[in-house]
Amino acid sequence: MNDFMARFSINCHSSIRCDGDMVLWFDPFRVADFSHDGDVIFITHEHYDHFSPEDIQRVMKPDAVIVLPESCRDAALTAGFDPERLMTVQPGETYQVRGVSFETVAAYNIGKKFHPQASRWVGYVVTVEGRRVYVAGDTDDTPETRDVRSDAAFLPVGGTYTMTAAEAAALANAIRPQTAVPTHYGSIVGEKSDGSAFAAALDAGIQCVKLI
């Protein structure tokens, strides 16, 4: 699993890159270089730190597909993206793009107003080389997230807008991926120490890989 996880990087926050023959980006944000290497760009929701048109432009190939919730389509069109490059999704469905299979998982808050369930924003379970990788987006510990089965799980731990480190670890301990990666901390929200707190709260048998 370590060799597999070596293909993933986080430049900050929840901005995740997966290297390989097919380069995948999730919520590119504060990307320094114009890499133009992304074949598929997955967007979880429309907040500026997840849907950043300028960063999407930095990482996408000219023929890249941008996968995003239906509720984000208008914002993408307003930002000038070609409608033929957009693939809209709904939570709780299974899709395929460029030969990559993926599922969508509802991403929302419970008891907080920042990410309402009615917006139908998503996280993604993407199959990469036969392994299931869950990128949760901005969410709390919900019935839908508890149903996820994955080999690796990227979970937000910074609190305020998402789960705290303790809450995210409780979710990881419930769904039991082989590897858990903390996200969404150390810059806009959350402390650098949140990644270590998350790692310390994981059950034995779940490896923590910190990429921030």
Report CA Rg, the chain.
16
Where do the domains of the chain lie, and which CATH numbers do they carry?
A: 2-208 (3.60.15.10)
Q: How far apart are CA 40 and CA 18, in angstroms?
A: 10
| Res 71: pLDDT | 94
What's the pLDDT tens digit per position in 61-109? 999 999 999 999 999 999 999 999 999 999 999 999 999 999 999 999 9
Task: State which H helix or E strand residue 165 sits in.
Answer: helix 165-175
- What pLDDT does 1 receive? 63
Q: Which tokens belong to 71? A: 């509720």
Q: What are phi and psi of 145, to 5 degrees?
A: -70, -30
Residue of 31, 27, 2 lying closest to 15 (CA atoms): 27
What distance in Å separates the CA atoms of residue 17 and residue 24, rounded to the nearest whole number? 6
pLDDT for res 155: 98
Instruction: Give pLDDT tens digits for 120-150.
Output: 999 999 999 999 999 999 999 999 999 999 9
